[in-house]
Each structure stands twice: as structure tokens, then as C-alpha cells.
């Protein structure tokens, strides 16, 4: 499955893998989990197994068909470094990435341990942005693991932000995305945490992208920080004339 995305920091999603299992606090209200069960209930082809990990050979070639450059989130309905995604299938995904240098791929994992285990077996093409999620202070160790990855461009997703993250050492990190949780059971995010992390990014000259406040109705919360929209992008995207970063969606 692939489609234009409503996620503000990407332009398309590509899901050669679907399904996952909950691994940390940020997974509690996982959007992919709810969506997978819904898609299973309406008989969607790739979701017959619901939220169980499933590999989709027929989705591997989708980005090859997109002729205009896209910023692609791979993938939004799973975690590519889930232990049930074999290296052989990851290699096929990376082959597609290699064969589509006009696209840029955002890969986000909550399993940077496995990412590092496979680091030397994967070719980290220049069009990959590799990220990890840190939703609260207990997962700060993921930052150190990400730094060891050979990807050229690295980013943090601090979403859903559930605690302040003090003393971030952002050396080697190219981008920080931050957002509050949204939906019925959204957990609150304090403004003080957001301002503190924004300050750390500014001091360390790391682009900072504030996605949303979140809350039960994310549109109500909006994405303004003290009246300003702050959505900065990493160099790899700014230098490219292929993307209209103000109008990704």
C-alpha cells in the first residue's frame, strides 16, 4: 500500500511491511495498530493478518512507478527493524531505495538495536534519512545507538513526547521532529518541555520541526509555538530543489 500522506513532515507513505508489536510507552495508542485492524475488518488486501507482521513483495516496486520525486516515509504501518522482518526482505527494500535516487526515504524505528545489528549488512544510500523515536527520558539510549548507524542523515522523532528530555547531545543529528499525542486517549505534553527542547536544538544548530500540540482534537491544538510555525528541515532536504517543503502535502 502506498499513498499521499497527511503526516506533515513527509509527502508519501510506502508500506512494503505491515504489522508490528508494541515495544515501548509511545506505542500505547499506536495509530498503525488501530488502522490495521480497521483495514482487516474491511478486507483490505495487505491486512488479512491484521497487525501481525506481513511482508508484501508486490509493494516493493511501487516507488519505481513514481516518476516525480517524493519524500517517502517507509513505512508508516510497521517498524522496518522489527525482528520478524528478515534481512533478505530489508535488502530488497534497500534495493528499491537504491534504484530510486530521485526520492528521499525517511525510515523511523523504535528498534535501533536491530538497526545497528544489521548496519554493516545494509548499504546506506545517500537518499536515506534514518531516525529513531524517543518519547521519554527512559529511551534516551536510542540516541547513542542512532549515532553509531552509518546513515548519512539522521533524525529524532520526539513523538508522542511524554516527558522532558534534558541534556540532549545532538552532535551528528541532522533533524529533530517533535509532537504531542493526538486522539481520544492522548497523553498531555507540557509547553515547558517543548520550549526546552527547541532551545537545545537552537543552541546546537539542529533544525527543529514542531509538528503539533496534539490532544483529543489535534486541529484545535494546532502547530503554533508562541504564535509561530516552526518547521525547519535538514540540509539534505533544504539543498534539494526537488521538494516544495512549504507544501509537502
Q: Which residues bind ligand SF4 (CB under 6 A)?
A: 20, 22-23, 26-27, 30, 32-33, 78-79, 110
* Least separation in angstroms between CB 212 and ligand SF4: 16
Give me 104's grid cell: 528521499
- Quick one: 100 or 111, whose CB is closer to ligand SF4? 111
DSSP 207-239: -EEEEE--BSSHHHH-SEETTEE-B---HHHHS
* Least separation in angstroms between CB 61 and ligand SF4: 23
- Quick one: 33 or 207, whose CB is closer to ligand SF4? 33
- Quick one: 80 or 201, whose CB is closer to ligand SF4? 80
Give me 59's grid cell: 509493494
Give Cα 231 distance to the centre of its chain: 15
* Least separation in angstroms between CB 84 and ligand SF4: 11
Give me 126's grid cell: 545517500
- Quick one: 2 or 206, whose CB is closer to ligand SF4? 2
* Least separation in angstroms between CB 30 and ligand SF4: 3
DSSP 186-207: PPP--HHHHHHHHHHHHHTT--
Amino acid at each position: 500500500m502506498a499513498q499521499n500522506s497527511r503526516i506533515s513532515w513527509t509527502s508519501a507513505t510506502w508500506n512494503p511491511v505491515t504489522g508490528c508489536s508494541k515495544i515501548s510507552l509511545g506505542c500505547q495508542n499506536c495509530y498503525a495498530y488501530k488502522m490495521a485492524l480497521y483495514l482487516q475488518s474491511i478486507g483490505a488486501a495487505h491486512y488479512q493478518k491484521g497487525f501481525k507482521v506481513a511482508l508484501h513483495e508486490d509493494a516493493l516496486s511501487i516507488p519505481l512507478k513514481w516518476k516525480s520525486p517524493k519524500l517517502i516515509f517507509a513505512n508508516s504501518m510497521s517498524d522496518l527493524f522489527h525482528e520478524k522482518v528478515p534481512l533478505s526482505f530489508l535488502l530488497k527494500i534497500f534495493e528499491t531505495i537504491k534504484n530510486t535516487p530521485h526520492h528521499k526515504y525517511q525510515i523511523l524505528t523504535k528498534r535501533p538495536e536491530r538497526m545497528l545489528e544489521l548496519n554493516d549488512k545494509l548499504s546506506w544510500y545517500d537518499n536515506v534519512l534514518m531516525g529513531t523515536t524517543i518519547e521519554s527520558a527512559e529511551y534516551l539510549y536510542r540516541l547513542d545507538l542512532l549515532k553509531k548507524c552509518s546513515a548519512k542523515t539522521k533524525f529524532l522523532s520526539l513523538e508522542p513526547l511524554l516527558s522532558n528530555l534534558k541534556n540532549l547531545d545532538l552532535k551528528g543529528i541532522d533533524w529533530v521532529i517533535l509532537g504531542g499525542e493526538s486522539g481520544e486517549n492522548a497523553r498531555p505534553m507540557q509547553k515547558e518541555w517543548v520550549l526546552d527542547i527547541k532551545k537545545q536544538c537552537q543552541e546546537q544548530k539542529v533544525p527543529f520541526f514542531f509538528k503539533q500540540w496534539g490532544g483529543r482534537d489535534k486541529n484545535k491544538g494546532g502547530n503554533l509555538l508562541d504564535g509561530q510555525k516552526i518547521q525547519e528541515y535538514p540540509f539534505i532536504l533544504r539543498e534539494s530543489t526537488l521538494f516544495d517543503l512549504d507544501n509537502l502535502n
